[in-house]
Amino acid sequence: MSGKENFKFKILDFKDLERVMEIERLSNPTPWSIGSFIDCINSNYQNILLIKQEETIGFCISTINFTESHLLNISVHPEFRSQGMGQLLLNKSEQDAKKKGVSDIFLEVRDSNEKAIEFYKKNNYKNVGKRKNYYRLSQGREDGLIFTKHMNLSSLESISRFSLFFLRKMLNFNRG
């Protein structure tokens, strides 16, 4: 991928919601509501945007709970797909999670989403189960496959990184 230096990351903010909703509607047969994205912002999830020339072209949303992360949603605008943008987002999300002490990442993917399944397998995610009827469709439901990736952190390293992350968060919170 050429021109990678033209991309930057930023944290999702309320002013970004219109564009994020556009990408979500173009990416998901049953898109999240704007309320779901607002909840992610208000809950301080790991909300990453990928920006090219001041335009949001993708996003990745994850929760961080101690040493585990749950990748909830990753989407790239159709005009930028198959160009490595999803890879940039996933790499950034994994790097940030690892800095926070995450040792395991979990996600669900639609059973019919072959491109996403291939993408996660290429990135060393392992299929560990299935959630029956997990995804709502316009008509009926679809199974969700559960994938996980171990980040190769020792328990001590994971707890140490999480403790530092938590301490920094508390210090910033106390500053107002």
CA distance 82 to 18: 23
Per the CB < 8 A criterion, the answer to whether 29 and 137 are in contact is yes
Write out the catalytic residue numbers.
108, 120
Per the structure block, which two tokens stand in for 31? 């898109």
Per the CB < 8 A criterion, the answer to whether 144 and 110 are in contact is yes
Per the CB < 8 A criterion, the answer to whether 63 and 70 are in contact is yes
Per the CB < 8 A criterion, the answer to whether 50 and 56 are in contact is yes
Residue 42 CB burial class (10 angstroms; 0-12, 13-18, ≥19): exposed
